[in-house]
Amino acid sequence: MDSVKTNLVGAFGSSISTLSRALSEEDIEGSGSSYRIVLPWLVLLATIFTLALSSGWIRKLAVAVLDIGAKRREKSKEVPPGSLGLPMVGDSLRYVNAYYNMTIKSYVDEKIRKYGPVFKVSLMGSPSVFLDAPAGTKIVLSHNEMKWTKGWWPKPVRELLGKHALSSQYGDEYLLHRNLVMKNFLDIDVVHQYISTMEKKAVKHIDKYWLALEDGSEVKAFKLMNVFSFSLITQLILGISNEKDIIDFNEVFHDMAAGLMALPVNLPGFQYWRSLRSRKLINQMLNVHIEKRRQDLKAGRASPTQDLLSVLLSTPNSEGHFLTSDELCDSLLQLVFGGHDTTAAMLTLSLRLIKEDPAVYEELKQGNFLRDYELQMVRALNAFQHATIAASKKPGELLTKEDLWAMKYTWRVMQEVMRLYPANQVMFREARITFEHHGYTIPKGWKLCFTNANSSWDPKFCKDPEKFKPSRFNEDKEKMPPWIHFPFGAGHRICPGQDFARVELLIFLHHFLRKIDWTVLVPNEKIEYRLLATPVNGTPIKITKIRC
């Protein structure tokens, strides 16, 4: 402390002496007015400084400042290794190519071999850090998420989905919007109220689009699954039941969605340009629908609870704010997108994967196919599967929530489908603060990437990760470590529709598996990620009706 005092006094005294000499020289050359004006102030300042220093508080302040500086120098670590590449371009082209062709694991593995488990790249014009698993994944998915990170999507995606979409928001705005949607549409108790609607829709769809065909007919599963999921979500959200309206909306919607992974060039002839035009058309269609519903609600021709649109027009958020038309358009569009594309992809991929293992298919269908003695007791204790549940029902009797939560093996199958083909191979956040991770400094504003490539696709955490093995999710099996398998994300930004998706998937498969058998015609069909997993040939299958 004495040395600090000595250094401060010496430095201050030296500064005063220097200034005094300078003013004295000026006085020699000039009138000397500057010296006569400033010198008394210098003397006063020196006196105050000396008294303050002797009292001790400025010494403490000086030591604190020096200590902060030392700590900052000590903590000033390097950013993660890697290459940011060319300005604006960075590594975006290689990354998008790897993502699109589902070679993202090779992309990440190559970077890890070169730089280590935490590395930097530049994606979509932003410095980005790929985090390790599970430590890095925990940072962005744990309870610290709201303090450390915020949601982020590339600008072209945000422009297509809209600034009022849930995925584009963060902080209090995000929480208010999320709570409004959860409370009125996606909370588990609300989802249970849709079970009968979902089941009737599934049965009607299977009867019309599958059972009406001749045995041996060939269909493209992805197209038909999309028809089912889109018609269901538009009915529940918008109340649209007219088939022509659904088809028209579906066509425009999918042209918009095609731009989410397209080259963001807003010029005629490019997909992104077409997608922006489709987005404007969707807004026009939704605004007409919204205005008509407003009038119907006022006139009593519509119920405030008949679908989500009516609910949102009649219900404010927790701060008393009613969504504007622009906010409604963005919110409804994202709910339609998230509520059908992922489901259609998962149902299609499940048909392909289930037939890769005959034992999985038989167990799903019958609920009593056992591959080894060890599983026999476990599955005997497990709740019913589809044949057992169906046998317990009277003609026309619908499924209950207890029936759905009893379909444990079916849900394990779907978990494994989502592990192999996640909704997003890489997820993004943005750092809200500068923080350290494994000795590296990650600056505020940098993008944080976490991926299945180094988690649930890594043999360190998941044995034979390339194989379809629903048994890895058996309750008696050793589970994967936390922060490794995150099909719906986690934390504050966990997918709000996870229970909706689970109920829809289970209901459809329950009826489909008992009525339709199928043969996959292109077993090794390529999967591309056009934002979501998309079979390039639409998964052609040959169907045979099951006659009970």
Q: Is the dihedral of CA 335, 337, 338, 339 positive or negative?
A: positive
Residue 23 domain boundaries? 2-75
Element (H, E) at 334: helix 325-338
- Percent of the chain residues past pLDDT 90, beyond the cut: 68
Alpha-carbon 7 to chain mean position: 55
252-277 mean pLDDT: 93
53 located within any domain: yes
How sure is the predictor about 175, in pLDDT bands with cuts at 50, 70 and 90?
very high
Q: pLDDT tens-digit profile of 271-287?
A: 999 999 999 999 999 99
State how far the alpha carbon of 19 is from the alpha carbons of 12, 15, 24, 33, 297, in Å: 11, 6, 9, 15, 80
Q: How far apart are CA 105 and CA 497, in angstroms?
A: 27
- Does residue 259 fall inside a structural domain? no
436 in a structural domain? no
Query: Is there a domain that residue 298 lies in?
Result: no
Q: Does 44 fall in a domain?
A: yes
User: Which pair of structure tokens corresponds to residue 262?
Assistant: 């397209």
Q: Is the pLDDT of residue 239 over 50?
A: yes
Instruction: For residue 535, tell me if it sits in a domain.
Output: no
Indicate if the pLDDT at residue 172 is higher than 70: yes
Among residues 449, 443, 444, the alpha carbon closest in space to that of 429 is found at 449
pLDDT for the residue numbered 32: 42
pLDDT above 80 for 465: yes
Number of structural domains the chain divides into: 1
| pLDDT higher than 70, residue 294 | yes
Binding-site annotation: residue ranges: 495
User: Is residue 119 situated within a structural domain?
Assistant: no
pLDDT in tens, 106-136: 999 999 999 999 999 999 889 999 999 999 9
Q: Could you list the residues known to form a binding site for heme, using ranges.
A: 495
Cβ partners under 8 Å of residue 197, min gap 6:
232, 235, 236
Q: Cis peptide before 481, with omega less than 30 degrees from 0?
A: no
In a domain, 16, yes or no: yes
CB 128 within 8 A of CB 448: yes
pLDDT band, very low/low/confident/very high, at 77 (cuts 50, 70, 90): confident
